[in-house]
Amino acid sequence: MDALTREPVLAPPTRRTRRWMAALVCVVVTAGIGVAIWRWPVAPPADKAALQREASKVIPIVQAQAIRRDMPIWLDGLGTVQAFQTVTVKTMVDGPLIDIAFKEGQTVHVGDVLVRIDPRVYQAALDNAVAKKALDEATLANARLDLARYQKLVVTNYATQQQADTAKATVAQTEAQIRQDQAQIDTAQTQLSYTTITSPLDGKVGIRLVDKGNIVHAADTTGLVVITQLQPISVVFNLPQQTLTQVAAAMAAAGAAGPEVVAYEQGSGTGRGKPLDRGTLMVLDNQIDPTTGTIKLKATFPNKTGTLWPGGFVGIRLRVDTVHDAAVVPQSAVQRGPRGSFVYVVDPDSTAHRRNVTIGYEDDLGSVVTSGIEPGEHVVVDGASRLTDGDKVSIVAPEPETPTGINRPAAPGTRQHGEGQSG
The set of residues, in sequence order, having a beta carbon less than 8 Å from that of 230 and lying 6+ positions away, is 83, 84, 203, 204, 303, 306, 308, 309, 310
Contact yes or no for 301/233 (Cβ under 8 A): yes
Outline which parts of the chain fall under CATH 2.40.30.170: 65-82+230-395
* Residue 239: exposure state from Cβ atoms within 10 A (0-12, 13-18, ≥19): buried
At the topology level, CATH places domain 65-82+230-395 in Elongation Factor Tu (Ef-tu); domain 3 (2.40.30)
N-term to C-term CA, the chain: 120
- 91-118+196-223: CATH, from 3.40.50.150, 3.40.50.720, 2.20.25.90, 2.40.50.100: 2.40.50.100
CB 391, CB 352: distance < 8 Å = yes
CATH 1.10.287 maps onto the chain at 122-194
How many other C-beta atoms can be found within 10 angstroms of the C-beta atom of residue 195?
Answer: 20
Q: What CATH number labels 122-194?
A: 1.10.287
Q: Tell me the whole-structure pTM to 2 decimals.
A: 0.67
Is 60 exceeded by the pLDDT of residue 226? yes
Residue 333: DSSP 8-state: G
Q: pLDDT tens digits, residue range 161-208?
A: 898 889 899 999 999 999 999 999 999 999 999 999 999 999 999 999
**What pLDDT, in 10s, does the model give residues 71-114?**
899 999 999 999 999 999 999 999 999 999 999 999 999 999 99
pLDDT band at 405 (very low <50, low <70, confident <90, very high): very low
- CATH 2.40.50.100 residue window(s) in the chain: 91-118+196-223
Q: How far apart are CA 346 and CA 35, in angstroms?
A: 53
Reported as a single tens digit per residue, the pLDDT across 129-145 is 999 999 999 999 999 99
- Compute the C-alpha angle 206/212/216, nearest 5°: 90
- Tell which residue, 97, 341, 316, has the closest CA to residue 225: 97
